[in-house]
Amino acid sequence: MIRHISGMELFIRDSLRQLRDQVTSISLRCGRNPGEITILGVTKTHPAEILRSAVAAGLTDIGENRVQEAENKILHFHQMQKLEWHLVGHLQSNKAKRAAELFDVIHSIDSLKLAARLSQASLEIGKQLSVLLQVDLAQIRKCLIQILKKGGLILGLDHNIIHIGFYVSVQLWLKTNLDCPCKSGPGTL
């Protein structure tokens, strides 16, 4: 049986191929393994047909920004193919348990309360959950300045702050500069 390919599926397939070619070219030019870079397709507000086309084109990492919106998509596609689901939007702590059940990666841990709830939920369901922490660099900078003004010594902390700052700045640069994360930044686009 021959499957009909829609115009949208062709467009998504071509776009994904072009992006992969770009990532490969930049990664190789920088001496980085292109296989270390994960392309994350964020499908928030888009219907399941768009997601189906993206999956048919080979996309395996899918991002959503709302737990409720993602739930139907995740349950529908769970039976079809193994996908890695990412929550990329703000997560309210009262939805932490459901998010831990549905998602493989949560990108928006912005409080200790939320981290604790996700940790507890993960333990309860026996699932290892990958998370990305949201760091307020302006607040860290203010704190460091206050400590330095008072003559305090910070041993080893400056290296971590620089590393965290670099990681976050790379995330922000991603919108305008694809070269940067492929060279040495995070492994997810």
For the entire predicted model, the pTM comes to 0.72
Give Cα separations from 151 to 88, 101, 144, 159 (angstroms). Answer: 39, 47, 11, 19
Torsion over CA: 97, 102, 105, 110 (sign): negative
Strand, helix or coil at 103? Answer: coil
pLDDT in tens, the chain (189 residues): 555 567 878 888 898 899 889 888 888 888 888 888 888 888 888 888 888 888 888 899 999 999 998 998 898 887 767 899 999 988 999 999 999 999 999 987 888 888 889 989 989 999 888 888 777 767 766 666 665 555 544 433 333 333 333 333 333 333 334 454 445 555 555
